[in-house]
Amino acid sequence: MNADESNQIWDAEQYAGNARFVSDLGSPVLDLLAPGPGQKVLDIGCGDGALTARIAATGANVVAIDHSQSQVEAARDRGLEARQLSALELDFEDEFDAVFSNAALHWIKPPDLVVANVARALKPGGRFVGEFGGAGNVGKIRQAAMAALRSRGLDGEFVEPWYFPNAEEYGALLQAADFRVDSVELIPRPTALPGGVAEWIKTLAQDFIAPVPEEERPAFLIDVEKTLEKDLRDSDGVWWADYVRLRFAAMLASAP
Ligand code: BEZ
């Protein structure tokens, strides 16, 4: 499945209100990228460009791409070079010193095509650095949503669009595309949700609600909240998503 086949609609304003944490928590993967003056960097799934702007601020020359026109426009409003383009359709060849991606690669299937396109876009010895949802990501939210769908006679498994691999699987995928894997690890990262779990689903995980008839959605979301409350809501009333990140850094083999 690629992002075209997901029910997700990205709205830059809604994203800024409920999902700013996605870019705010991007510092570790930016540190791993270590961009610098003159480097040519491709940012895959740039969203509204918050992290792209931080890469550009180091003096790197960044091209940002995203599948969503709304997000591309928000990135352009920051003065960035942003194009509406899927990572499945990359036609760059031998152009970039580094390819970067935060919180996007779990949306884009098949992953081996993404990795092959990244390898083609990089110069020999170029780096591929990123972070996205790994095995077990949002497992509790997923189970609660599946149960609420099943209780309405709906098939949740069928609608799930994401790719959440483990470290061994993704490392092998990178190696098969001629990358040397410098690091690949799963990082559990419980993440506070500013608008709670229902807003998170409405903003970032619309595939869970897509099969539910419009008028039943409020009750569906209440069911999900009730199931999750004991595990994911703390004593101050803050909701936490059970995020697990897969973070990696790899280098394309140099030309022989
Ligand atoms: C994530 O960033 O891990 C994520 C976002 C939306 C849906 C599922 C996972």
Structural domain contains residue 152 = yes
The total number of structural domains that make up the chain: 1
Asked whether 252 and 120 are in contact (CB, 8 A), the reply is: no
Structural domain contains residue 159 = yes
Average pLDDT for runs of 10 along the chain of length 256: 61 75 86 97 96 97 96 96 97 97 96 98 98 97 95 83 96 98 97 94 91 96 98 97 98 81
Residue ID of nearest Cα to ligand 1 atom 3: 133
Indicate the pairing of strand 96-102 with strand 239-241.
Answer: unpaired
Structural domain contains residue 3 = no
Structural domain range at position 188: 12-252
Rounded CA gap, 15 and 60, in Å? 26
Q: Tell me the three state secondary structure of residue 54.
A: helix
Note the pLDDT of residue 5. Answer: 55
Q: Point out the ligand 1 atom lying closest to the alpha carbon of residue 244.
A: 3
pTM: 0.93
Rounded CA gap, 193 and 241, in Å? 7
Residue ID of nearest Cα to ligand 1 atom 1: 133
Place of tokens 């970039």: 96
The CATH number of the domain holding residue 210 is 3.40.50.150
Note the pLDDT of residue 2. Answer: 44
Place of tokens 């799934």: 45
Structural domain contains residue 7 = no
Give the CB-side neighbour count of residue 66, counting CA atoms within 13 A: 28
Note the pLDDT of residue 255. Answer: 65
Structural domain contains residue 6 = no
Structural domain contains residue 4 = no
Rounded CA gap, 208 and 201, in Å? 7
Ligand 1 in contact with 138 (CB < 6 A)? yes
Structural domain contains residue 1 = no
Give, for ligand 1, the residue of 163, 199, 204 to mutate: max count of ligand atoms closer than 8 Å to Cβ.
204
